[in-house]
A and B are shown apart, each in its own frame.
Chain A
Amino acid sequence: MSASGPVVLRLFIAGPGARSQRTVESVRRICETHLPGRHELEIVDIYQQPALAERDGVLAAPILLRVAPLPVRRIAGDLQDEGRVLRALDLAPAEEA
């Protein structure tokens, strides 16, 4: 991926449950591994900020949004499969970058 700017990600989780924790860890790991220093990650708890969920049209949780670069991409689920997450985000694995 030709990085013209930082990759902006926004992760919506529903409460502090085990699945939310798992998802947050997974996303953090992927970001640090494959996008070191060129990503912004925002984590939103939809219970705390329902207005943000509404703004971004979030239904499923957890869900990861790639806000930039456009177009917006959405990946629902607990994001344990690193390969699928990268493919879905249209990001090349770090080894190849």
Chain B
Amino acid sequence: MPDAQPEPHAAPTLPKAPTGIDGFDAITQGGLPVGRPSLICGAAGCGKTLFATTFLVNGATRYGEPGVFVSFEERAEDLVANVASLGYDLDRLVADGKLAIDHVRVERSEIEETGEYDLEGLFIRLGYAVDSIGAKRVVLDTIETLFSGFTDPLLLRSELRRLFGWIKDRGLTAIITGERGEGQLTRQGLEEYVSDCVVLLDNRVADQITTRRLRVVKYRGSAHGTNEYPFLIDHAGISVLPVTSAELDYAVSDGVIASGIAGLDAMLGPGGFYRGSSILVSGESGTGKSMLAASFADAACRRGERCMAFVFEESGAQIVRNARSIGLGLQGHVEAGLLRFEAARPSLFGLEMHLARMHRDLDAFRPDVVVVDPVSALRGSTSELQATLLRMIDLLKARGITAVFTSLRTEGAVDPGDDLGVSSLMDAWIKLLNVEANGERSRTLYVIKARGMSHSHQVREFLMSGEGIRLVDAYIGPAGVLTGTARLAQEAQERAAMLRRRQDAERRSRDAVRRRQAIERQIAELREGLEAVADEERLLHDEDSLREAVLEEDRREMQARRVTAQGSASGAASGTAPGAPRGAAKRAAE
């Protein structure tokens, strides 16, 4: 950025009086020069009086420096009433002796002039007021009014020069306000006299949106931010946004925080996002961006962290109601003071005002997690938008805040870099996509990138129900990625096929058992047969042995008989076959 950033430690030789205005003291490295007059100039209605009043009120309440407000335009009562809306109780400060308000009425043509005179009356009144409360700060608002009351400009100029000299002599830190003039900073060229510090306030309208800007034109003896800085005036007073600190030197955290969606955390290597990272959630309408962000917020609050949601399209109450439908009790977090919604229409302010408001809210609430929903609602030229987002991210990173930005992608925008050109600034990018197939839509989620961690590259189906957000692995098969009913159908088919296979297997195993049992039965039968044969064999063997025994007996009987019959039948003993007739005879004898 071509920004002459002041050196952070450029030896503050010049003593400074803090204004207590957020951001301004940062730009000027401490505030306005002590003991000198500073000029605050700008057109009508740009906040000069308020700036000056804030300087005095903060001086009196925070820095123990009483102040005098010399009003040339508004009456004291009007001034008190005008700033009461900011929470400034001037009457009490006056009663406490911390503030003096002097209304110096100057009316045109009321004063005739004849002969020489000076403004000693003004000096005396100022000195009187300063001495009465021991003031250290003075505001002259708007001193140029004197030029309408007195006709001698030469005299006025010399008196003003004398006045500023007097302020320096008294060591008063003063704000002189001046109306913006043609071709110069103030109508009467006051910048010639008040040359130590000149601040220009501006109120520009572009596309019917007003943006207040502040610029330190000159600061003698001190470095200062030279850019135009947006500033904000609302119920919380003035805050200036020192937006140009685009230094990439924030502390990084290794801490990991859960997103509140278990399935999403599981897709990320460390089991969540790094603390302090910026997460972009992009997708078309109805893809569940806001609910994803709501889950994130819910998870943060459950951890006891503070979460702030800047919402541009819905009210906080509506988001709370919608989140209830997915089982998130955000209302409890709101009541516990952990969750705060800051809802505003994008067209309410310009980009810089949104940024300034965000800056102030962040410093007031000090959240751990911020949701911006949706960042794409902010409108403006591309370059301006990108610069704003860059600063927004810087703002959050510098504070170590984890941020979730949702971004609407419009239908048909095919350009992958269409996400406001911020995707490269983001640490993580989750893309939600509606898949239309088979007459239905289903939500899917990809993690496009997550710096510094491994992450799943696969698509998940994104389901929202009363139990919250759940991620389901989408079916990835030969037919491609299937989600929704197609996934369910595919899963049913797979289940059926598995059942069939299991039944087949069971049947086959039953068959095998049967076959084995049959064989075993056959074996048993054969074994029985074998035993029968063995029995028979034994029986035959027994019969044979019996017959042998009988034959033996017969033989022995025969022998015995032959011995006894030898004497009587000697010739018979020389016969050729003595056995056979004997056996036959034996059998016949039995």
The yes or no answer to B516 lying at the interface (CB within 8 A) is no
Question: Which of chain B's residues 114-134 have a Cβ closer than 8 Å to chain A?
Answer: 114-122, 124-125, 127-128
**Beyond known contacts A14-B121, A60-B122: 18 more, CB 8 A cutoff:** A14-B118, A14-B120, A46-B120, A50-B125, A50-B128, A54-B102, A57-B105, A59-B125, A59-B149, A60-B118, A60-B119, A60-B150, A63-B111, A75-B113, A77-B116, A79-B114, A79-B115, A80-B114
Given contacts A59-B119, A60-B117, A78-B117, contact A53 B124 (CB under 8 A): yes
Secondary structure at the B interface, as helix, strand, loop or mixed, is: mixed
What are the interface flags for B93-119 relative to A under an 8 Å C-beta threshold, 1 for contact and 0 otherwise?
A: 000000000101110001111111111
The answer to whether A78 and B125 touch across the interface, beta carbons within 8 angstroms, is: no
B320 partner residues in chain A, CB cutoff 8 A: none
CA distance A19 to B116 in the complex (A): 9
What are the interface flags for A56-84 relative to B under an 8 Å C-beta threshold, 1 for contact and 0 otherwise?
A: 01111111000000000111111111001
CA distance A59 to B156 in the complex (A): 12
Specify which of B104, B110, B124 is in contact with A47 (CB 8 Å cutoff).
Answer: B124
The yes or no answer to A35 lying at the interface (CB within 8 A) is no
Closest B residue to A61 by beta carbon equals B120
Given contacts A74-B112, A76-B112, A84-B112, contact A61 B118 (CB under 8 A): yes
CA distance A48 to B131 in the complex (A): 14
Q: Chain B's nearest CB lies how many Å from the CB of A56?
A: 9
Which residues does A use to contact B, with CB under 8 Å?
12, 14-15, 19, 23, 46-47, 50-51, 53-54, 57-63, 73-81, 84-85, 88
In the complex, 14 of the A-B residue pairs with CB atoms within 8 angstroms, ordered by the A residue number, are: A14-B124, A46-B124, A47-B124, A59-B106, A59-B122, A59-B146, A60-B120, A60-B122, A61-B120, A74-B111, A75-B112, A77-B117, A79-B115, A85-B114
Which residues does B use to contact A, with CB under 8 Å?
102, 104-106, 110-122, 124-125, 127-128, 146, 149-150
B121 partner residues in chain A, CB cutoff 8 A: 12, 14, 46, 53, 58-61, 63
Given contacts A75-B111, A76-B111, contact A54 B125 (CB under 8 A): yes
Specify which of B102, B115, B119, B125 is in contact with A77 (CB 8 Å cutoff).
Answer: B115
A47 partner residues in chain B, CB cutoff 8 A: 124
Specify which of B102, B111, B128 is in contact with A60 (CB 8 Å cutoff).
Answer: B111
Q: Chain B's nearest CB lies how many Å from the CB of A22?
A: 9
